[in-house]
Chain A
Amino acid sequence: EPEVTQTPSHQVTQMGQEVILRCVPISNHLYFYWYRQILGQKVEFLVSFYNNEISEKSEIFDDQFSVERPDGSNFTLKIRSTKLEDSAMYFCASRDGTGLYEQYFGPGTRLTVT
């Protein structure tokens, strides 16, 4: 069964460093998302991406964040200058172009900023 994959599973970085989180969505999916979950809290929407551009973003997704689909398979989230409060689980999700609107999540990348 096709699945969303994410790398790395765990990333440790120092405050102020840039990080890139990578995702490979399900191959025939057209809509891509990033969410984050701070430990013990709910899952929060960051950004959605369709047709090579951002279609919606939350207040969390400020100028420190960017997304890219550099080729036909990868979808990346970049945090330019990490802060301690960026420590969280980051989930990538994707869905197809039908009207079912089901989003399939990857296993997540745990980001720890020290």
Chain B
Amino acid sequence: AQTVTQSQPEMSVQEAETVTLSCTYDTSESDYYLFWYKQPPSRQMILVIRQEAYKQQNATENRFSVNFQKAAKSFSLKISDSQLGDAAMYFCAYSIGYALNFGKGTSLLVTP
């Protein structure tokens, strides 16, 4: 069974600073997809960034980037220049094409 582990239940960052959220996963598959979703207090699930396992290059989307270490089965999310609107739950997710398998989430607090 594939499992996704987010070891940081809560993280805090000051506005304009950088924060890294960690995620590890366990799989025997070689082709898969990794995602970070953001869930603000409205509880809407918003896709932040995705990474295909066959790509060595780390994905970036504006202030969001990932550090994908396939051998270590690690997929961390870096948020640069943190903004108050980044405060939310962040879920790491894994998929081989059908279901998304989510971690338990990291609650990110952004302080002024």
Residues of chain A touching chain B, judged by Cβ–Cβ distance below 8 Å, are 31, 33, 35, 37, 41-45, 48, 55-56, 58, 89, 91, 93, 100-105, 107-108, 110
- Sort A-B residue pairs by CB-CB distance and give the 7 closest, nearest first: A105-B45, A45-B99, A43-B102, A56-B98, A42-B104, A101-B33, A42-B102
- Distance between Cα atoms of A15 and B42 in the complex (Å): 26
SS of A interface (majority): strand
Measured CB to CB, the closest approach of chain A to B72, in angstroms, equals 22
Query: Can you list 20 pairs linking A and B with CB atoms under 8 Å apart?
Result: A33-B99, A33-B100, A41-B104, A42-B91, A42-B104, A45-B99, A45-B101, A48-B98, A48-B99, A56-B98, A91-B45, A93-B45, A101-B33, A102-B35, A105-B46, A107-B43, A108-B43, A108-B44, A108-B45, A110-B43
- Distance between Cα atoms of A37 and B100 in the complex (Å): 13
Provide the B22-36 mask, 1 if CB < 8 A to any CB of A, else 0.
000000000001010
Residue of A with least CB distance to B32: A101
User: Which B54-112 residues have a C-beta within 8 angstroms of A?
Assistant: 91, 93, 95, 97-105
- Residues in A with CB closer than 8 Å to B45 are 43, 91, 93, 105, 108
Residue of B with least CB distance to A41: B104
Contact B97 A101 (CB under 8 A): yes
- Residues in B with CB closer than 8 Å to A58 are 99
